[in-house]
Amino acid sequence: MARSRGMSVRARLALSYAAVIVLTGAALLTVVWLFLLRYVPQGSGWMQGSDGRPRVVPSQGDLVRAFTPPTVAMFALLVVCGLVGGWLLAGRMLRPLGRLHEAAGLAAEGSLSHRVSLPGRGDEFTDLADAFDRMLAELERHVGEQQRFAANASHELRTPLAITRTMLEVGAADPSVDRDELLARLAAVNARAIGLTESLLMLSRAEGAVRSTEKVDLALLAEDAVETLAPLAASRSVEVDTELSPAVTTGSAALLQQLATNLVHNAIVHNLPSGGGVAVRTSSEADAVVLVVGNNGARLSSEDVEHLTEPFQRGARTTEHGEGVGLGLAIVASIVRAHSGELSLAPLADGGLVVTVRLPA
């Protein structure tokens, strides 16, 4: 916004300090003046001193003439001291704002790694600087995540397109290619690209705030997800065990349904080659509702688990079979954040993963 330049804050503070000093001094001198003149006669007179000699008693006019020059000089001194002292004091007090202004300017130019790091004891300025540093750290983290996400998304979207182009070039160059097989492979690649696009759109939607909320029972959503994915579980010989107690929360029914479906789907896909199991539990607590999905599978380290909610992070089973796009748990994490909930992942000692979602009741 274009603004006309006005008086600086430092100058205004200096003038304010000087005005306070001058007004205080003026009030003090006025009180002294008034109370002093009350007990002084109008005209000059004589009185006998303690030594018996006559002495002249000054009149009010004599005192005014004697008192005025030092009073004027004192006022001038107060004005100078107030302005100089106020200027120096205001500069010292406003120095932290200069560092904040510098950091804000660097951030506006794209440098989010700079920090104010204001030293000293806690006060309003240090609180503001610390909050500004936290904001910069959060912005730097979000920008880094977006850059990594954009790079990964570009790579993931480019891969099926490159495969499709290669298939088409081979089919055009070799008339003996089985057209039915080629069409089936193209359909599979196209389905993967469509799935990736839909996942990206869902992730973008989940990152936004939940605008419309309604009462939702996680138990019903989890039951629906288990029923929907039952054929997939059967094809992989994965047994799904459920223990669903009412767990009513408020939020977006569509997003929470996607959350439950993604968790159950991941638990089935990231499982043992055969004979694995998936456990789905819902429960209610005093101030929260809980959805827990656990499965058997490959052993995961704590370092592996820390990165599973990042976009395009796939498990070993998914990578091996070429399924998924690595956005399932990233979407879950975004939905949980949008509903002010908590998401925790814990690896099992014998292999597998337990995912716990805790949402406000």
* pLDDT (tens digit per residue) in 334-351: 888 888 899 999 888 888
Asked if the model's pLDDT at residue 321 lies above 50, the reply is no
What's the structural domain count of the chain?
Answer: 2
The region that residue 264 occupies, defined by phi over 0 for left and psi between -120 and 50 for alpha, beta otherwise, is: alpha
Q: How large is the angle between the packed helices 328-338 and 179-207, nearest 10 degrees?
A: 20
Does residue 69 sit in helix, strand or coil? helix
**Domain endpoint, select from 90, 111, 132:** 111
For residue 230, give its domain range.
212-360
Give me 339's structure tokens. Answer: 């509903």
343/345 Cα distance (integer angstroms): 7
Q: For residue 224, which of 179, 282, 295 has the smallest C-alpha distance?
A: 282
Residues near 352 by beta carbon (within 8 Å), at least 6 away in sequence: 271, 294, 295, 296, 297, 298, 300
Asked if the model's pLDDT at residue 1 lies above 90, the reply is no
Q: What percent of the chain has pLDDT over 90?
A: 13
Q: Looking at residue 296, which CATH number applies to its domain? A: 3.30.565.10
Residue 4 lies in a domain: no
- Both 339 and 222 in a single domain? yes
Asked if the model's pLDDT at residue 92 lies above 60, the reply is yes
Q: What is the pLDDT of residues 111-152, one digit of tens each?
A: 888 888 878 788 787 888 888 888 888 888 878 767 766 766
Does the pTM surpass 0.75? The reply is: no
If pLDDT is split at 50, 70 and 90, which confidence band does 291 have? Answer: very high
Q: What is the pLDDT of residues 24-45, one digit of tens each?
A: 888 887 887 777 766 666 665 5
Q: What is the DSSP letter of 353?
A: E
pLDDT at 322: 40
48/52 Cα distance (integer angstroms): 6
- Both 106 and 220 in a single domain? no
Cβ atoms of residues 69 and 53 within 8 Å: no
